[in-house]
Structure formats: C-alpha cells, structure tokens
Homo-oligomer: A and B are copies of this chain.
Amino acid sequence: MFNDYAEIYRNNLLNDIIPFWLNHSRDSEFGGYFTCLDMKGQVFDTDKFIWLQGRQVWTYAMLYNNVEQKQEWLDFAIHGASFLLANGRDDAGDWYFSLERSGIPLTQPYNIFSDCFAAMAFAQLYKASKNEEYKTVAVDTFYNILKKKNDPKGCYNKAYPGTRPLQSFSLPMILCNLVLEMEHLLDADLVNNTINEGIDKVMNVFYQPELGLILENVTPDGKFSDSFEGRLVNPGHSLEAMWFIMDLASRKGDTELIKKAVDITIDTLKFGWDEEFGGIFYFRDIKGYPPLQLEWDQKLWWVHIETLISLIKGYYNTGDERCLVWFKKVHDYTWSHFPDTENGEWFGYLNRRGEVLLPLKGGKWKGCFHIPRGLWQCWMVMKAIAEKQERSNLIKA
C-alpha cells in the first residue's frame, strides 16, 4: 500500500510540479521567477516576492541535493539566487518584501520571513554548489534574523508599546525548521541552543495543554490573551510545526516528544476539520467567536500538504493508527480537490465547499514550495515505511 501512495507523490512531484515551474516561471529577461501564474501557467503579474523567490531557489536546490543531481535543477536554482543576490537586500542586509520585475525594491523589509526563506535558500544552494558566497549570505542572514527576532517588524510595528505585548508563533516555528536546514553551516552549540529553544517555545509556550491546541499569539509569559490575536488558532501552522518538531525529536532520539507531537497533530485536526464539507479550516477562534479573518473557512493547499507530512511522519515514527486513519482522510480530500488534472499543478485557494476560489497556480503567497517539499517528504517517508514493512515481512517469512 505505501508503495502505491509513494508513487502518487513521486509522480506528481517529478512529472507535474517540477516541470510546471521550470516551464512557466523563469524570467529570462530580468532573472528570478514569475510566481503569479494563472490556471494554465501564464504570467498575469510580474512582481517578485522575496518569500517566493527564496523558496523556489530552495526547492530546486533541495531536489538537486536529495532527488537527482540534474544540472537543469541546479541551474534553475542559481538563476533565482543570482537575482536575489543582485537585488534582494537593503544596505543593512535586510531582505525586502517584494521587488518589481526588474529588481527595483517595491516593499520595504518589514517581514522577517523574507530573511528566513532567503537563508534557507542559500544554505540549501551552498550544499549543492559549494559556492562560498552562498554560504556567507545564508549565515549572515541567519545571524541577522537572530538579532531581529525579538522585534521582527521594527519601525513597521503598529502595536502601541506595552499595552498588549504578545509573542507570535510563526517565527519560533520557522526557526525549528531553519536551524536544521542550516545545521551544516552553524556552530554545533548554536544549533543545539536554537533547537532546544524552538522546541520549548512550540511545545511549552504556544502549546496550551488545557486547550490541547497551539495558539498563534500568547502573552510574554506564555499565557492566553482574550483578544482577537490571542484567540486565534491557525490549524495549518500548528500542523506544519508538528513535523518540524518530529524531525528535531528524531534527531535527539526523543520518542516522548514525537508522541506528544502526534497527539497535538490529532487534536488540531479534530479542532480544525470541517465536519460539514471536509478539509481543514484556515483559521478558527479558540472560543468559537467570529475571527477577524474573513477567509477563515477557506481550504488552502499548504495547510493540507503540510498536514499530510505530519501524519505520515507520525505514523512512521510511532505506528499510531490514528495517524493512518487521518492520513487517508486528508489524502483523499487533498487529491480530489487541489490538483488540476487538466492544466497541471494544484489550485491553492478553495472555498469552504472545496470549489476553486481563485483560479491560479501561483500568486503573492503561493509559489513553488509547499507542494514539492510536501510531495518529496511524503514520498520519502512512504518509501521508508514500505521498506520497513518489507523487512518485517521477511523476518516473519
């Protein structure tokens, strides 16, 4: 069975997603990638968002490093990296949020995740190319992130100081993944400290045992804030974070931590699943109040593929049958709703009923990242489960 699953994920990755972006997203004139692609892959807007430029560099470098050393993939990653190096940063080394097609800055560096995805891109590309410049950029950017992490928005922060100080889940969560991405470039102590701090933040600060869920924003001392921000649950975020935690826990050999991550995965799915129409909600208010996010009931591609990773990793690591039951449910929903079998790639934004809300393959936030990463992760884990099962069958026979 797991070989059949693996084939679905491998085939979609290699024969649909990878060629789709190779064929449609290259900007041969100015460098970098187009990411605003319509249903058929035609470019409908030429702005370049640093999140998505970095993530696409990362994707093709990762494929080169982990799937096959195809020169075309490496060249495509370098194509994006060169554009980023030439245009992406201001004088302080902060990464802009977006650029015009030609590379002129369009939106100021107000968003620390631009830095995170740039660091991730250059760290992965250094692995593939051994170009020292990429290493330097990755490491400099990582240190810059650490420097800014307690005030990530800087002068663009609109919160009045001191009234309702909240810490936000996104950055500690991303750091849990980024630190493993950068492990080969960083001092071992820094890696271990960042890992331990990341696990502590996710599992002891943002995870609220009495709720069984992770909150997007908590007070500085990790308490619940009864406010719009404080009541917000982003199930996709929580679910994505659980495979980051499982990866860190595997590295440490901490089986209890993996089990805890599995429990949170299941509890989050129970809370986030739409019993009426299927799929996982984008946002929910922990008290059931109306959230601020008008898009709260939509079904997004990244939420579902990230969930599949956590479920399959949970099953691989623990054998917990709940993971398998939920995996099948989320797998069926995902594959019957998101992929566009006619034009290739996946739709990103569905309404609550699972109908296409925006007929695009890429935009300001959807690029070449979650789907290929998720397909590769699931494929690898499924292969490992199948191999484990074969070995176990051999022993029995």
Mark A residues whose CB is within 8 Å of B.
Answer: 38, 44-45, 47, 96-97, 100, 104-108, 110, 155-156, 158-160, 163-164, 227-228, 287, 289-292, 294-298, 349, 351-352, 357-360, 363-364
Contact = CB atoms under 8 A, between A and B. Distances in A.
A45 B160 contact: no
Contact of A44 (B45, B110, B290): B290
B292 A294 contact: no
Contacts of A38: 289-290
B352 A351 contact: yes
Contacts of A45: 227-228, 289
B159 A227 contact: no
A289 B107 CA distance: 22
25 contacts: A38-B289, A38-B290, A44-B289, A45-B228, A47-B227, A104-B160, A104-B163, A105-B160, A105-B163, A106-B160, A106-B163, A107-B158, A107-B160, A155-B155, A156-B156, A156-B158, A290-B360, A290-B363, A294-B294, A294-B295, A294-B357, A295-B295, A297-B351, A297-B357, A351-B352
A360 B285 CA distance: 13
Contact of A364 (B228, B296, B358): B228
A352 B289 CA distance: 21
Contacts of A290: 38, 44, 358-360, 363
Contacts of A349: 294
Contacts of A104: 160, 163
The winner among A38, A290, A359 for most chain B CB atoms within 10 A is: A290
A110 to B, nearest CB: 5
A287 B155 CA distance: 35
